[in-house]
A and B are shown apart, each in its own frame.
Chain A
Amino acid sequence: MPASSSPKPAGAPLTGRVPRLLLVPALLGFGFLVLPLFGLLARTPWSTLGAQLFSTGVRDALLLSLATASAATVVSLVLGVPLAWLLARTEFPGRSLVRALVTVPLVLPPVVGGVALLMVWGRNGLLGRYAAEWTGYGLPFTPAGVVAAQVFVAMPFLVMSVEGALRGMDRRYEEAAATLGANRWTVFRRVTLPMVAPGILAGAVLCWSRALGEFGATIMFAGNYPGRTQTMPLAVYLEMQRSPEAAVVLSLVLLAVSVLILVVLRDHWLGAR
Chain B
Amino acid sequence: MTAPVPVVDAHLVVHHPGFTVETRFQVASGHVLALLGPNGAGKSTVLRALAGLLPAQGHLRVDGVDLLSVPAERRPVGFVFQDFLLFPHLTVVENVAFGPRCQGMPARQARRLALDLLTDMGVAEYARARPRTLSGGQQQRVALARALATRPRLLLLDEPMAALDADTRMSVRAMLRCRLTAFSGATVLVTHDPLDAMVLADRVLVLEDGVSVQEGTPGDVARRPRTDYVARLVGVNLYRGRAAGTRVQLAGPHGSAVALTVASPHDGEVFAAFPPHAVALYRERPHGSPRNTWLLTVDGVERFGPHVRVRLSGAVEVNADITAAALADLSLRPGDRVWAAVKATEVECYPV
Interface, chain A (partner B; CB < 8 A): 170, 172-173, 175-183, 186, 190-191, 194-195, 197
Contact = CB atoms under 8 A, between A and B. Distances in A.
B85 interface: yes
A177 B70 CA distance: 16
Given A180-B99, A181-B103, A175 B72 contact: yes
A178 B78 CA distance: 10
B88 A175 contact: no
B98 interface: yes
B53 interface: yes
Nearest to A173: B85
B231 interface: no
B220 interface: no
Contacts of B75: 179
Interface string B20-56: 0000000000000000000000000000000111000
Given A186-B102, A190-B98, A179 B89 contact: no
B73 A183 contact: yes
Contact of B102 (A182, A195, A197): A182
A176 B73 contact: no
Contacts of B72: 175, 178-179
Nearest to A186: B102
3 nearest interchain CB pairs? A180-B99, A181-B102, A179-B79
9 contacts: A172-B81, A175-B53, A177-B102, A178-B71, A179-B51, A179-B53, A180-B73, A180-B149, A197-B89
Contacts of A181: 73-74, 99, 102-103, 150
Interface string B54-95: 000000000000000001111101110100010111000000
Nearest to B77: A179
Nearest to A195: B89
A180 B98 contact: yes
Interface of B: 51-53, 71-75, 77-79, 81, 85, 87-89, 98-99, 102-103, 146-147, 149-150
Contacts of B98: 177, 180, 182, 190
Contacts of A179: 51-53, 72-73, 75, 77-79, 147
Nearest to A191: B87
A176 B102 contact: no
B85 A178 contact: no
Contacts of A173: 85, 87
B85 A176 contact: yes
A176 B79 contact: yes
Q: Which of A180, A190, A194 has the most CB of B within 10 A?
A: A180
A179 to B, nearest CB: 4
Nearest to A193: B89
A180 B86 CA distance: 12
B118 to A, nearest CB: 16
A182 B89 contact: no
Contacts of A183: 73, 102
A177 B98 CA distance: 8
A181 B51 CA distance: 11
Nearest to B103: A181
A237 to B, nearest CB: 44
B131 to A, nearest CB: 11
Contacts of A186: 102
A172 B48 CA distance: 11
Nearest to A175: B53
Given A172-B81, A175-B72, A186-B102, A180 B88 contact: no
A191 B73 CA distance: 14
Contact of A178 (B73, B89, B147, B149): B73
Contacts of A176: 79, 81, 85, 87
Contacts of B147: 179-180
Contacts of A178: 52-53, 71-73
Contacts of A182: 73, 98, 102
